[in-house]
Structure 1
Amino acid sequence: MSRLSFDNQSLSKYNIFKGVFKRNRNLLALSTIIFFMSLFIGVIVGYFSPDIIGYYLTGFSNDLSSQVDISTVSIFTHNIRAGFMAYAGGIIGIVTAALLSINGFILGAFLGYFMHGGAINHSTVNPLVFMSYVVPHGIFEIPALIMASAAGFRLTTVVIDLINSLRGKPYVNNDYRKFKDSIALLAIAVVLFAVAAVIEANFTMSIGNYITGLNLHK
């Protein structure tokens, strides 16, 4: 295969993904807005209602510490389950929106709790320390969740078109392309979830511990 042919194929694949993002930019924007609005609301709730968040956070940390098998596979399995739920929830679009909102709210609530000066097991945690255990894998995991949710919303449009078809209403028949776009977005999300799982299982704890050490020695 010539270099020119290889370059053309690479460019073609790039254009395919570029087209997917372009055609679904409104749904990606919608998913992003829902997530970060929920995160913002969570920060407010966590900051002004620390006792409630602290109660749930203690239970969460105890459940987490009791898990023996925290590996790349277990993390990926957990995340991919959430991604597929967000996607399948697109059959009834409100389910995808609800799952996305809950994830954003929980992260925001924990962040707001630590901004208020919250603690885990009676040890005060700096927001910077908390984020150091979230950001390394979160920069892949959060976009993956947003992508899976956008795929779910794309699936919602397919369902709406099918309902309109059954009701005899005219619509543009491009359901096949929409469905392919939803699968493409989900596939990209799966890749991002895989990268996030590798980072969370193998690097996040070390990075967080390092930053925690720097914070303690200030």
Structure 2
Amino acid sequence: METLIKFKDLTVESLKNHKKLIIGLYVLFIICFIGGWILSADVVNSALNSTVPSNGTQLNSEINALDLFIHNEAGGILTYVASLFFAIPAVVMIIFNGANLGAAGALFNSLMPHGGLRYVIYLIPHGIFEITATVIQSAAGILLFLFILGFVRSAISKDTDGVSQAFDKNKKVLIHSIILMIFSTILLLIAAPIEAYFSVPFSDFIMNLL
């Protein structure tokens, strides 16, 4: 119980201390999502110009929660580790995921009646957790790079007495980075079953009401 309380306190502290970074990455994701949708619309329409959209097209509900979690978590861990290289992969992941999801929206909008609206409704239940996890993973990756950068700077500084002191000066950033990665994993654990078993029926239910 004490461990859970300490983890909760560290999570709140990590989110508060780096909220500007997290909000900034969220804004970048939203811009890329909207941009991906708008810029892909003409391309998708041109590609499907000679094709009659099928009214029977459906969002895929034949997905497994465990496979979804493993796929998303593996991508997050890879991005986290790769962010050691100047944090570039962390930013690229946000841009790619935002643009890719936006492009998918444009595709569904062309293939299905009210497909764009259906797609957004489908994204909402699990996206609240999954997209937030993606943003936090990127933030964690950036913090990992900042820890390495701060550690190296401290280690070569004349004001620091050895590697141990250099680590002590920067370990808080590393702790926040690891805590945010753990928190993102929890969010992905929540998102996976929602996406696998709830999001499609939910979007169908809402669309039937409209």
- The verdict on a shared fold, with TM-score over 0.5 as the criterion, is yes
The alpha-carbon deviation at position 52 of structure 1 amounts to 6.8
Long gaps (5+) in structure 1: 1-5, 56-63
Map 1:204-215 → 2, pairs under 5 A: 204-214=199-209
Distance 2:105 2:172 in 1: 39
Distance 1:165 1:10 in 2: 32
Map 1:156-167 → 2, pairs under 5 A: 156-165=145-154, 167=156
Q: Percent identity?
A: 25
TM-superposition CA deviations, 1:41-89 (whole Å, max 9, x none): 212212333247869xxxxxxxx96x97x21111111111122123223
Which of 102, 105, 118 does residue 110 from structure 2 map onto? 118
Report whether the alignment pairs 1:200 with 2:189.
Answer: no
Count of matched residue positions in the alignment of Structure 1 and Structure 2: 196
Q: Give the match for residue 136 of structure 1.
A: 125
The alignment's TM-score, normalised by the length of structure 2, stands at: 0.78
Distance change >3 Å, CA 108–CA 13, structure 1 → 2? same
Q: Give the match for residue 75 of structure 2.
A: 82
The alignment's TM-score, normalised by the length of structure 1, stands at: 0.75
Report whether the alignment pairs 1:153 with 2:142.
Answer: yes
Contact 1:144 1:192 in 2 (8 A): yes
Distance 2:76 2:194 in 1: 18
Q: Give the match for residue 127 of structure 1.
A: 116
The alpha-carbon deviation at position 29 of structure 1 amounts to 2.2
Report whether the alignment pairs 1:36 with 2:25.
Answer: no
Contact 1:27 1:153 in 2 (8 A): no
Long gaps (5+) in structure 2: 50-58, 161-165
The alpha-carbon deviation at position 170 of structure 1 amounts to 6.2
Q: Give the match for residue 93 of structure 2.
A: 99
**Which of 200-209 and 98-107 deviates more?**
200-209
